[in-house]
Structure 1
Amino acid sequence: MPPKPKLNVQNFPRPPLLERTNRHLQVKYQGHTIADTKEAYWVLETYHPPTYYLPLSSLSLPLTKTTKQTYCEYKGWATYHSLTLPSSSEVIKDRIWSYENPNKEYEAIKGYVSFYVGPWSCFVDGEEVKPQPGDFYGGWTTEELVGTIKGEGATRWL
């Protein structure tokens, strides 16, 4: 199998591009698969690894809205969620977000959620991803990415 082409994050667009991806995305925690899909969207933005949005139908556990909200100048207001693990009753809060009423250009991700990398493990086509540096950013970093990623060292203010 030929190697995947490299994706240079510095060549990603601004404003961000939203498009369908058929990559196999999984979120796993303590032996439990929380999400599994090949029907997602990714957002590509300059200096950022892709942020993936998974359909609610791909989740194996229900979500509960929390009071946290943040604002993105492109997508609008984000709503955050918690989930409770049935095996331990552990509640993980504010590590999943969605845009319930996204701005017009991003309407396709209504009904989709995105996961920060951690505390669970996230996978793209079987590769375990690394979190985008800085706890604010939700990008999933894979080996195919090259270029300077926002959140690393001196790039925090790019």
Structure 2
Amino acid sequence: MDRPQRVEPGPGQESVWDYPRPPRLEPVPERLRVVFAGQVVAETTAGWRVLETSHPPVYYFPPADIRPGVLQPAPGQSWCEWKGRAAYWTLALDGHTAPEAAWSYPEPVPAFRPIAGHLAFYAGRVDSCWVGEEQARPQPGGFYGGWVTSRVTGPFKGEPGTRGW
């Protein structure tokens, strides 16, 4: 399949087609936030983002910046060719449950050691996710966990017809 046509970024935007492969890990100094069951369950100014070609950024939260007691280990695991074995987490709060709403890399490969034990959240499985004061949308398709904001242009992996990318 041919590489899709890159959307030219405007001022203050990044194209996901300029992100590297293998992915790059970067600190995120601005506030990241996750809301579930009407409450903030994760909030940090010490997050990380993973940038990978064709994907919107995936944001990772330090465990200390996640509300205690809201995450329970979920069954199953997966393998990322870049980061290693992923574990999944179910979010539960006030009678609301979101199975496999988050994931982590307990022992990532050396290049991603800074995010060992940090958690990323699927934007489509919680009430809302925020980068600064902007609400993010889920990466299309439901399989990948990137957060789409006005700061990134696509097209994005996960949209219809992108399986062969």
Is this a same-fold pair by TM over 0.5?
yes
**C-alpha contact 2:37 2:96 (8 A) present in aligned 1:** no
Once residues 92 and 13 of structure 2 are traced to their aligned partners in structure 1, the CA distance between those partners, rounded to angstroms, is 37
Shift of 1:4: 6.2
1:99 to 105, 125, 132: 105
Once residues 154 and 145 of structure 2 are traced to their aligned partners in structure 1, the CA distance between those partners, rounded to angstroms, is 17
User: What's the RMSD between the two structures over aligned residues?
Assistant: 1.4
Amino acid at match of 1:113: L
**C-alpha contact 2:129 2:135 (8 A) present in aligned 1:** yes
**C-alpha contact 1:28 1:35 (8 A) present in aligned 2:** yes
Amino acid at match of 2:112: Y
Unmatched 5+ stretches in structure 2: 1-9
TM-score of the pair, normalised by structure 2: 0.88
Once residues 160 and 91 of structure 2 are traced to their aligned partners in structure 1, the CA distance between those partners, rounded to angstroms, is 32
TM-score of the pair, normalised by structure 1: 0.92
Once residues 142 and 156 of structure 1 are traced to their aligned partners in structure 2, the CA distance between those partners, rounded to angstroms, is 22
Residue number in structure 1 paired with 2:55: 48
Unmatched 5+ stretches in structure 1: none
- The aligned runs of 1:4-153 (5 Å cut-off) are 5-62=12-69, 63-85=71-93, 87=94, 89-120=95-126, 121-153=128-160
**C-alpha contact 1:34 1:60 (8 A) present in aligned 2:** yes
Shift of 1:118: 2.4
Moved over 4 A (4+): none
Once residues 146 and 119 of structure 1 are traced to their aligned partners in structure 2, the CA distance between those partners, rounded to angstroms, is 22
Residue number in structure 1 paired with 2:3: none
**C-alpha contact 2:91 2:101 (8 A) present in aligned 1:** no
